[in-house]
């Protein structure tokens, strides 16, 4: 295990608002950081985002406190706390001009970056120049052996070729799903013969060490320079898929950081992701039987 165990999620932290009137804490980097903290100890997890000076911002802080998730969370006074409307499918309506679009870089973030063993980032928070610059600067300040995970999270029109290209150059682990892989291939004029061929072309073009490719109920793949791993998705009664991919990524990275093999890490990630699908929110408590495996 690396000496540094700090695991950072940077980008959006928001509320997922569902059609039944419920509101759940979410945002891919927040989900990632929380699940990583459950596995590696909450003292080793850190969320970097921003909130508005509003009722949702106060509630967001209360929800993060309840989960013991440490954060660097500046208040952006002229923007609201992020909210996403989630419809069955799921489909998303993402409000623009949110506080997480204007995350300022701070000295505290620089200190965290230099201690980071893992940083997970996506494309959504990069739709704004302010947050994009903060994310890219933080990635530049990480140690050379830091796992820099680009969980692409293509949403609506909130991405472009430049953002994706820059992010692919910054990461050494890429996570994407069956909807995102064809879009990346289209964007860069790549041929999609088979998913593995496409993933390996991406690895070669951007010098990426690992690609995590998830296909929902069909299963998931992990491609490294040395091997390919396929894992069938466990058969579960799905309540909600929001946050499942984030839990997969967090579990895989924590397992690798703990010295587990790719195959072991992949298996645990598939189990945790399937469990999250059975729960109503994106941040359920991971079963003790799984968490215990990270304390041995």
pLDDT in tens, 93-120: 888 999 999 999 999 999 999 999 999 9
The pLDDT value given to residue 215: 92
* pLDDT > 90? residue 228: yes
Beta bridge partners of 83: 15
Question: In the chain, what are the helix, strand and coil shares in percent, each to the nearest 5?
Answer: 45, 20, 35
- The lowest-confidence range among 33-47, 54-68, 101-115, 149-163 is 149-163
- Whether 148 contacts 171, CB under 8 Å: yes
What pLDDT band is residue 86 in, cutting at 50, 70 and 90?
A: confident
* pLDDT > 50? residue 1: no
CA distances in angstroms from 35 to 67, 253, 273, listed in the order given: 10, 11, 11
What pLDDT band is residue 20 in, cutting at 50, 70 and 90?
A: confident
Instruction: Indicate the SS3 state at residue 131.
Output: helix
244-293 per-position pLDDT tens digit: 899 999 999 999 999 999 999 999 999 999 999 898 878 999 999 999 99
Average pLDDT taken over every residue of the chain: 93
Beta bridge partners of 75: 51
Instruction: Indicate the SS3 state at residue 85.
Output: strand
Q: What is the mean pLDDT of residues 166-179?
A: 97
* pLDDT > 80? residue 222: yes
| Spatial separation of the C-alpha atoms in residues 51 and 72, rounded to whole Å | 10
What pLDDT band is residue 4 in, cutting at 50, 70 and 90?
A: low
Q: What is the mean pLDDT of residues 47-74?
A: 97
Residues whose CB falls within 8 Å of the CB of residue 105, separated by 6 or more in sequence, listed in order: 133, 134, 137, 138
Q: What is the mean pLDDT of residues 10-30?
A: 89
pLDDT, greater one: 184 or 192: 184
The pLDDT value given to residue 117: 97
| Spatial separation of the C-alpha atoms in residues 111 and 4, rounded to whole Å | 13
pLDDT, greater one: 233 or 242: 233
What pLDDT band is residue 230 in, cutting at 50, 70 and 90?
A: very high
Give me the residue spans of the domains in the chain: 6-289
Beta strands in the chain (DSSP E): 6-10, 14-18, 23-26, 45-48, 51-52, 71-72, 75-76, 82-87, 91-94, 116-121, 147-151, 173-177, 210-214, 220-224, 228-231
CA distances in angstroms from 24 to 33, 125, 218, 241, listed in the order given: 16, 19, 27, 13
* pLDDT > 80? residue 83: yes
CATH superfamily of this structure's domain 6-289: Ribokinase (3.40.1190.20)
Nearest-CA neighbor of 249 among 233, 231, 269, 230? 269
């Amino acid at each position: 295990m690396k000496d540094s165990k700090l695991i950072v999620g940077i980008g959006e932290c928001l509320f997922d608002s569902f059609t039944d009137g419920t509101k759940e804490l979410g945002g891919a980097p927040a989900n990632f950081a929380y699940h990583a903290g459950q596995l590696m100890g909450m003292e080793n997890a850190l969320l970097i985002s921003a909130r508005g000076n509003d009722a949702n911002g106060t509630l967001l802080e209360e929800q993060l406190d309840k989960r013991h998730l440490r954060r660097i969370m500046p208040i952006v006074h002229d923007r609201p706390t992020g909210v996403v409307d989630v419809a069955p499918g799921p489909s998303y309506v993402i409000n623009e001009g949110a506080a997480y679009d204007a995350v300022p870089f701070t000295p505290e973030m620089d200190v965290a970056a230099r201690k980071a063993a893992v940083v997970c980032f996506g494309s959504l928070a990069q739709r704004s120049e302010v947050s994009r610059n903060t994310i890219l600067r933080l990635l530049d300040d990480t140690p050379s052996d830091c796992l820099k995970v680009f969980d692409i999270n293509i949403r609506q029109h909130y991405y472009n070729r430049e953002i994706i290209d820059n992010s692919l150059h910054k990461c050494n682990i890429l996570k994407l799903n069956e909807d995102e892989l064809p879009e990346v291939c289209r964007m860069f004029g790549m041929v999609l013969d088979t998913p593995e061929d496409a993933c390996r072309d991406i690895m070669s073009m951007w010098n990426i060490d690992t690609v995590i490719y998830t296909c929902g109920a069909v299963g998931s793949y992990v491609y490294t320079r040395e091997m390919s791993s396929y894992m069938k998705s466990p058969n579960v009664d799905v309540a909600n898929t929001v946050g499942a991919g984030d839990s997969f990524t967090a579990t895989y990275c924590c397992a690798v950081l703990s010295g587990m093999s790719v195959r072991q890490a992949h298996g645990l990630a598939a189990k945790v992701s399937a469990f999250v699908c059975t729960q109503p929110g994106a941040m359920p408590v991971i079963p003790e039987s799984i968490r215990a495996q990270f304390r041995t």
